Amino acid sequence: MHLRIIVVFFFVSYNSHGSAQSLPGNVQYKKGDPVPLYANKVGPFANPSEQYEFYTLPFCAPKEEERKGLHLGEVLGGDRMMKSLYSLPFLVKFTARTLCSYTLQPKEIEMFQRAIDEDYFFELIYDGIPVRGFIGEKKKEIVHGETTAAYHLFTHYIFSISHNGEKILGVRWEHDPFDYLDITDKDKEVDVHFKYSSKWLKPSPGTTHLLGDTPADQEHLQIRWFSILNSIGTVLLLTGFLAVILMRVLRNDISRYALMEQGGDSAMAEESGWKLVHGDVFRAPQHPELLCAVLGNGAQLLCIVLGVLLLALLGVYSHYNRGALLVAALMLLSVTSGVNGYVAATCYAKLDGLRQPLALALSNGLLLAPLFLVGAALNTVAVAYGSSTALPLGTVLVLLLLLALVSLPLNLLGAAAGRALARPLAVPC
């Protein structure tokens, strides 16, 4: 219990960047207290990795841009929160309040049509809770005997907010199905009036938050556990089949070699079959530097996976702690570099390698170099398309400093320890 508290406290303290209020449930409100609602992002529902800032679509935006401070995990996840025009005071109910009214130009109508074609969703953040919904819908209508597509832009948002009298527990979004704007004709201007309503609901006693408590969320969790168990069962079944086949082959070889030895033809038994493995398994590899680098990076990846799973068991990740998984993987990648250097250096010392600098460079770059190249390419594409997943220059510098000041020194220390503690390889044959 104490270990869990320490790990969670350390991780959340780093990840929150001094913004503990970003986690819902940490703030108590009184009736009428303002609760900011931030506009975050939009993107195709079928491709969550393609994200854009909320106001890249022609929604009505505030005149002055006020952005929320983000920690590293939120930036890596593509979050770009900006204060919106919505006003949802605590425990204040209202219906059909006007958000804004303006005229949509043909170019803006075309943008909304493309967003509806690609099934765009939006994400708002209310008291640290993500609120997601869709831009509009595309319906087929029959006009004069011909089937045409009608574009409907949702203009009335309804926020159903759950609370316990002092804290916000959850938020759900829906739209008024009878209140929409037909934007099928993109060649002429059209006036749009956005409205929103606020409903405050009190859940059953004992409810701490809504995410994961609804039947739909429980069904999703059950399906996910079923998939995991199904995958484990499939792997175990295939492993059992393979083990049976290998045992049968091995038993037949042992029986044949026993008969050969009884017949006095032991030389033939040594010239073929799996017994020749002992002559090759301890042979020095042609590229020991590459072999040791692969072993070191494999050990590092194993430690990263185990670390991520351990943090999951400790309850560090949640719906509200945005970007926690990315930060955890990044921190573990840096911290476990010492394991990489130790394993690679130990292996190389056992093989009596003479090119230590090359082995050290390979152990450092075998994993990081491909990650850097792929990340740089993806970030370049994101910048070219104006995606919110594009990392700012400051974040890129932070990542590079993290690798240079944490990952590299730990790798060098691990390598030095590995060389100092390595023992000669005792080959049995």
Q: What is the pLDDT of residues 306-349, one digit of tens each?
A: 999 888 888 787 766 777 888 889 999 999 999 999 999 998 88
Tokens 């799996």 sit at which residue? 274
Q: What is the pLDDT of residues 167-185, one digit of tens each?
A: 888 889 999 989 999 998 8
For residue 303, the model assigns a pLDDT of 93
User: Largest Cα–Cα distance in the chain?
Assistant: 99
Q: What is the pLDDT of residues 359-382, one digit of tens each?
A: 888 888 888 899 999 989 999 999
For residue 265, the model assigns a pLDDT of 54
CA angle 114, 120, 123 (to 5 degrees): 140
What is the pTM for the complete model shown? 0.70
Query: Given phi > 0 = left and psi -120 to 50 = alpha, else beta, which region is 165?
Result: left
SS (H, E, C) the chain: CHHHHHHHHHHHHHHHCCCHHHCCCCCCCCCCCCCCEEEEEEEECCCCCCCEEHHHCCCCCCCCCCECCCCHHHHHCCCCCEECCCCCCCCCCEEEEEEEEEEECHHHHHHHHHHHHCCEEEEEEECCEEEEEECEEEEEEEECCEEEEEEEEECEEEEEEEECCCCEEEEEEEECCCCEEECCCCCCCEEEEEEEEEEEECCCCCCCCCCCCCHHHHHHHHHHHHHHHHHHHHHHHHHHHHHHHHHHHHHHHHHHHHHHHHCCCHHHHHHCCHHHHHHCCCCCCCCHHHHHHHHHHHHHHHHHHHHHHHHHHCCCCCCCCCCHHHHHHHHHHHHCHHHHHHHHHHHHHHCCCCCHHHHHHHHHHHHHHHHHHHHHHHHHHHHHCCCCCCCCHHHHHHHHHHHHHHHHHHHHHHHHHHHHHCCCCCCCC
Exposure string (b/e) for 294-327, b if CB count within 10 Å is 16 or more? bbbbebbbebbeebbeebeeeebeeebbbbbbbb
Identify the residue with better confidence: 108 or 283.
108
For residue 14, the model assigns a pLDDT of 45
Give percent above pLDDT 70 in the chain. Answer: 81
For residue 155, the model assigns a pLDDT of 92
For residue 357, the model assigns a pLDDT of 86
Q: From CA 161, how far away is CA 93, in angstroms rounded?
A: 10
